[in-house]
Amino acid sequence: MLRSSQPLTGPNRKRCREDEMLLGTVLDEGERGFIIDTRSAQAAKQARMTGGGTEPKSSYPQWKRLHRPLERGRPLQESFIKLVEACNDTSINVDRWLSRLESSRWLSHVKAALSTACLAAQCMDREEASVLVHGAEGTDTTLLVTALAQVILDPSCRTLEGFQGLLEREWIEAGHPFHLRCARSAYSHARLKQEAPLFLLFLDCVWQLSRQFPFSLEFSERLLLTLFDNAYASAYGTFLCNNEKERRESTHSLWAWLNQPGEKKKYLNPLYSHNALVIWPSVEPQSIQLWQGLFFRWIRSSQYLDEAWAEIQQLVEGN
C-alpha cells in the first residue's frame, strides 16, 4: 500500500516520467493496481484548474482509479461541532434525537471512512493488488485510509506496541498537521480554517472495530480517549507541531509515558487474544454506533459500564 498526494497534472495534462516509472516499478508485468482517490471524481477533475489533478489512464495504464470521496476540512469540523452540540442539548425530545444525530452526518463519515479503508484492504487481501491512496494533500483523508486499512489487515497493528508504531508512521511521521487540525476542538467560536477532526474520526473508526471485534485489539477504549485528549492538549511533544521538521526534540514522548508498566496496564483490553486474521467490519448502519464513551463522556456517568469492565478484568485475571 502506498500513499502520496495528488499528481500535479494541471490544466495542460502534464506528465512526469519519473512519477510514472516509480508507480510502474511497483507492479509486475500484467499486474494491475488500484488508486483510491479520496476526492469525488468531480472534485479531482476540478483540481486540475489549480494545478492538481488525477493520474490519466493513458500514462498509468496498469492502475485503475477508484473515487471514494471522504469529507475533510471545514465540513468535517462542522459535522463534529454539530454532533457535540446535539449531545449537549438537554432539551432535545427523544423523537428528534436521531434526526439531529443524522443531520450532523458524523456517523455517515465514520461509515464512509471504514468502507474506504475496507476497500483498500480488500484490494490488497482479496485481489492481491497494490494500492495507492491519495487525496489532495496526502495529509488528511489519505492517512485516515492507510492507517485504518492497516488495523484491519495487520494483526501486529492491533497490539499496543504495534498501534503506537502505526500512529508514529501513518500520522506523525507522515506529516498530519496536528497543530493546525487539533487546535480548538468543538467548543471554540474561532472556527479556524485549517481545523478538522480527522484524527478523531480515525479513533472513532478504531473504536467501531473494537466493538465489532472485542477480542482483537490489545488496547482498550481508554487508550483511544487518551490519544484524543493528547492530540489537542498534551504535556508531551508527540503530537506537537505539524510535521517532523517542525518538531523539536526537547520534549517528552507520550509513548514513553504510556508504556511504563504501571501506566500500560490501564490501556490494555482484558479480552485480547491474538487474532492472526484480517478483521472485516460490517459497515451496515446498524453496526455503526455513536461513540458514547467519547461524546457523552462529561454528560453522563460511565459508572455502570466501568463496573462491568472491572468485573471482566477480575474474571479474566482470576483465571
CB 271 within 8 A of CB 312: yes
Residues in contact with other proteins by CB under 8 A are: 64, 66, 87, 89-90, 92-99, 101-102, 105, 107-108, 111, 115, 118-119, 121-122, 126-127, 211-216, 271, 273-277, 279-280, 282-290, 292, 296, 299-300, 304-305, 307-308, 311-312, 315-316, 318-319
Closest approach of Cβ 45 to other proteins, in Å? 18
Q: Return the number of the residue (77 or 210) whose C-beta is nearest other proteins.
A: 210
Nearer to other proteins, 169 or 211 (CB): 211
Q: How far is the CB of 306 from other proteins (least distance, A)?
A: 10
Residue with smaller CB distance to other proteins, 216 or 226? 216
Output the smallest distance, CB 289 to other proteins, in A: 7
Residue 33 half-sphere exposure, CB side, CA atoms within 13 Å?
23
194 CB contacts (<8 Å, ≥6 apart)?
177, 180, 181, 183
Looking at the Cβ atoms of 245 and 300, the one nearer to other proteins is 300
Work out how close the CB of 305 gets to other proteins at its nearest, in angstroms, rounded to a whole number: 7
For other proteins, the closer CB: 22 or 316 = 316
* Shortest distance (Å) from residue 33 CB to other proteins: 12
Shortest separation between residue 319's beta carbon and other proteins, angstroms: 5
Distance of CA 112 to the CA centre of its chain: 11
C-alpha cell recorded at residue 134: 491519495
Query: Toward other proteins, which CB reaches closer, 76 or 118?
Result: 118
- Of 102 and 246, nearer to other proteins (C-beta) is 102
Q: Determine the Cα–Cα distance for residues 309 and 315; give it in Å rounded to an integer.
A: 10
Q: Are 60 and 23 in contact (CB under 8 A)?
A: yes
Q: Please report how close the Cβ of residue 10 comes to other proteins at its closest, in angstroms.
A: 27
